[in-house]
């Protein structure tokens, strides 16, 4: 898969994600900054969604493991 799975990056703070998305912190890795297209509040919402989704997926996996034991 060519795209990173952000659920595995939930330890990033919203500040780090903001530096990546808005300020282009990873521009040399191919991730340009999008400060002209996005706002801080949108980055915070994305971060919240990713964290929530990662926790939900983890819980689903744990429940699945409990049901197979």
Please, which pLDDT band fits residue 47 given cuts at 50, 70 and 90? Answer: confident
CA 38, CA 48: separation in Å to the nearest integer? 16
User: What pLDDT band is residue 68 in, cutting at 50, 70 and 90?
Assistant: confident
Q: What is the pLDDT of residues 1-45, one digit of tens each?
A: 567 777 777 677 778 889 989 999 989 988 899 999 999 999 999
Q: Which two tokens stand for residue 17?
A: 């994600």
Q: What is the pLDDT of residue 64?
A: 86
What pLDDT, on a 0 to 100 scale, did the predictor assign at position 29? 87
Quote the pLDDT of residue 40.
94
Helix 40-68 with 14-21: angle, nearest 10 deg: 120
Tell me the CA distances in angstroms from 21 to 2, 46, 56, 57, 58, one per residue in order. 18, 10, 24, 24, 25
């Amino acid at each position: 898969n060519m795209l990173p799975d952000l659920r595995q990056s939930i330890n990033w703070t919203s500040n780090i994600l903001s530096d990546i998305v808005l300020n282009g912190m990873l521009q040399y890795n191919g991730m340009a900054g999008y400060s002209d297209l996005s706002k801080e509040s949108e980055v915070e919402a994305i971060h919240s969604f990713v964290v929530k989704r990662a926790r939900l997926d983890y819980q689903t996996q744990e429940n699945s493991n409990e049901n197979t034991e």
